[in-house]
């Protein structure tokens, strides 16, 4: 498993539009991607679960990647977060 911490820069956090983009991106990979904040976590393929976490601008999330293509997935998802969130 690989993971990284990321501080959300999107001014409204993980709301409908960026959560939808994240779900769409996460479905391109075989590895399981999990976003964690405090005691809450959600699979990156679950739109409502991501939105229910209540992640705001300035919050730090931990992103975990686990699976057969985790090296490629890790690099791509980290880049996605930096460019979209």
The string of DSSP codes covering 2-60 is EEEEEE--STT-S-HHHHHHHHHHHTT-SSEEEEEETTEEEETT-HHHHHHT---TT-E
Does residue 51 have an active-site annotation?
A: no
The catalytic position among 2, 15, 32, 56 is 15
Give the residue numbers marked as catalytic.
Answer: 15
């Amino acid at each position: 498993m690989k993971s990284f911490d990321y501080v959300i820069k999107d001014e409204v956090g993980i709301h409908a539009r960026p959560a939808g983009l994240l779900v769409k991106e996460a479905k391109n990979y075989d590895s399981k991607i999990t976003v964690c904040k405090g005691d809450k976590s959600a699979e990156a393929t679950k739109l409502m679960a991501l939105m229910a976490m209540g992640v705001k601008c300035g919050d730090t999330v931990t992103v975990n990647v686990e699976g057969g293509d985790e090296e490629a997935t890790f690099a791509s998802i980290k880049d996605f977060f930096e460019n979209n969130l």
